[in-house]
Amino acid sequence: MIIVLDVGNTNTVIGGYEGNELRFSLRMCSDRTRTADEYVFYLRGLLQDRQVDLSKVEGGIISSVVPELRYLLRQAMERLTGQKFLVVTNDMNLGGMEIKMDIPRQLGADLVVDAVAALSLYQPPLVIFDLGTATTMSVIDADGNYIGGAIIPGLRLSMDALSARAAQLPFINLDEPPMVFIGKNTVDCMKSGAFYSTAAMLDGMAQRAEDTLGQPVTVVATGGLMGVVYPFCRRPIHYDENLLLTGLLRLYHLNHG
Q: Which residues belong to the active site?
A: 110
> String of b and e for 40-54 (b: at least 16 CB within 10 Å)?
beebeeebeeeebeb
- Spatial distance between the Cα atoms of 151 and 254, rounded to a whole number of angstroms: 28
Count of Cβ atoms closer than 10 Å to residue 18 Cβ = 12
Q: Which amino acid is at 143?
A: D
Burial class of 137 by CB neighbour count within 10 A (0 to 12, 13 to 18, 19+): buried
3-state DSSP call for residue 48? Answer: helix
What letter does residue 166 receive in the DSSP assignment?
S
